[in-house]
Amino acid sequence: MIQYQEIYQYTVADRHLRQHSWRKDRDDQERHKLVKFTTSQSAVEHSLCNRDWLLDCARTGGADLVVMDRSRVQFLGLTATASVSRAFPDTWVDQYRSWSGIESSCDARLENSDQGQVASVYFFRDCVALPKFAGVYDVASGQRLTNRREIIQRFWTWGFPAQRGRPLNVGQIRWSGTRQELQTAYALYNQHYLRRTRSAVARKICQAYTSTVRDYAWPGNW
C-alpha cells in the first residue's frame, strides 16, 4: 500500500526550512530540522516502496506507463481502471481521506482516447514521493524514462498529449483537445500564421494554438 505520512512530514519540514529560513523563531526552525532529520531515511524508503507498489499494480492491471508525482499518480495504457482498483482499495482510500481531511482526494479521474485510457489520482498533499523519485516509469522494465521526446511519443501513442512541467504528466483531453483536434489546430496555425496581423479570425486561431502549445506538447510540437 501507499505510505504517505512520513513523506508528507519531511516535505512540509523541508519546504518550511527553505521558504522561511529568514525567520527569527529558532525553536520553530529547530523543530522542523528535527522532523526533517528523523524522517529523511524513511521518506526515501517509502518513496521507493510506493514506486514499486504502483509498478506492480500497473503490471497486474495492464497499464503501460506510470506517472508518479509528489501529489499525483497516473496510469496510462489500453486500460487503467484495474490498476487503480488494485493500487487504491476502498479501505485505504477511507484511511487517507480521514488523515488528510479532504473527501475528494484519491478519486480516480478516468479519461478515454481512441487509443487508450488514463486514470489520474490526486492526493492534494505532497506525500506520494520525494521529488527525486518523481517521473514517468515504464511498467515492463520498471525503469524511469529520461528521454523527454520518448515520453511525449509514448503518451501520444495512447492518444494523449503531454502536459509540460517536471515531470511531464499526461494531459487531459478536456483541456488540451484530442489528437485529431491538436493536429487540426497545428495545420490551421500554419495556414493562417502570415495573416494573423490582417485578420481577426486568423489572429484568434493562432492565439488558440499558441495558448495550447504553451501548456501541452506532442510530436512535432515538443
Provide the domain count of the chain: 1
Q: What is the pLDDT of residue 170?
A: 97
Note whether residue 20 is domain-resident.
no
Q: What is the pLDDT of residue 213?
A: 93
How large is the average pLDDT for residues 88-107? 91
Which residue segment(s) compose the domain that 220 sits in?
161-166+174-222
How large is the average pLDDT for residues 50-72? 96
The span from the CA of 119 to the CA of 113, in Å, is 12
pLDDT tens, 10-28?
Answer: 999 988 888 766 565 677 7
Q: Are the C-beta atoms of 130 and 44 separated by less than 8 Å? A: yes
With a pLDDT cut of 70, the percent of the chain lying above it is: 97
User: What is the length of the chain?
Assistant: 222
Note whether residue 199 is domain-resident.
yes
Note whether residue 12 is domain-resident.
no
Q: What is the pLDDT of residue 126?
A: 94
Helix residue ranges, H only, the chain? 5-19, 26-61, 81-87, 90-100, 148-157, 173-176, 179-192, 200-215
Q: What is the mean pLDDT of the chain?
A: 92
Note whether residue 77 is domain-resident.
no
Note whether residue 121 is domain-resident.
no
Note whether residue 196 is domain-resident.
yes
Q: What is the pLDDT of residue 169?
A: 95
For the cut 80, the answer to whether the pLDDT of residue 75 exceeds it is yes
pLDDT tens, 174-219?
Answer: 999 999 999 999 999 988 988 888 899 999 999 999 999 999 999 9
